[in-house]
Structure 1
Amino acid sequence: MARKLISSGSSFEKEMGYSRAVVDGDWVFVSGTTGFNYDTMTIEEGVVAQTEQCFKNIKNILEEANSSLDKIVRVTYILPKTSDFELCWPVLKKYLGDVRPAATMFSAGLFDERMKIEIQVTALN
């Protein structure tokens, strides 16, 4: 299978030179995805709403790659405020509770201070 690059249409991808996702063989590598609504290029204020939007964005990209949320094998959560992570747990359980991928969370500054969470996944195709 040839390598396939997938874009969400975000201006960040073109400006920084990356793809929202790369399909390579049996794998789909989804870049760190934030809570921006790419249709409106807006972002909600709260971490819970942003987490929900992250998963909507990831779901759309995985479907474009002929994959799905239930094929996620690894997830990385990045939050500027560690204390916000527990607030996200109900959303994480909603989307990945039955999938239970290997997971890592760490705290780091994000590109835009409005961003409260970034989620990166690897899935099978």
Structure 2
Amino acid sequence: MQRSVISSPSAPRAIGPDSQAVQCRAMLYVSGQLPLNPETMTLAKGFEAQAEQVFHNLSAVLAKAGMDSREVAKLTISLANLDRFAMLNIIMERYFVASYPARAAIETSRLPKSALIEIDVVAVETANA
């Protein structure tokens, strides 16, 4: 099986023993991205800025793999406060267009670095993207 590690300098480096993403043939598995500035490794301030930073980081990893948001099949979103779900939807519409990927959103008691949001994705390389 073909398997390769994807790493983009335009996304934050892993803070644990994991890779930014792993590609297995047409499938790309992107590790949970935190709202960290890749240059300073500091958190963005406030929920909206953190969500934007996470999507920016995800876009950088996807681009390194030669993909974009049109190839995202599934997102798993962890939120420190599910009351921010409506704002999340507004921000997601800036990055995705119909047809939207599948998604799960859960509230969690704590995220690494005390972030307000973390998102991981599964993308599928397509010829039509």
State TM-score, norm by structure 1.
0.89
Residues 9-88 of structure 1 aligned to structure 2 (within 5 Å): 10=13, 12=15, 16-88=16-88
Runs of 4 or more off by more than 6 Å in structure 1?
Answer: none
Contact 1:34 1:54 in 2 (8 A): yes
Deviations 1:36-91 (A, max 9, x none): 11122122221111111111111110111111111001011100111122222211
Deviation, 1:11, is 5.1
2:6 aligned with 1:6, yes or no? yes
Q: 1:105 to 1:4 in 2, by over 3 A?
A: same
- In the alignment, structure 2 segments of 5+ residues that lack a partner are none
Indicate the percent of aligned positions where both proteins have the same amino acid: 30
Worse-superposed segment, 80-89 or 51-60:
80-89
RMSD: 1.5
2:117 aligned with 1:117, yes or no? yes
Paired residue type of 1:98: A
State TM-score, norm by structure 2.
0.86
Contact 2:14 2:20 in 1 (8 A): no
Partner SS, residue 112 of structure 2:
coil
Contact 2:7 2:64 in 1 (8 A): no
Count how many residue pairs are aligned between Structure 1 and Structure 2: 121
More helix by share: 1
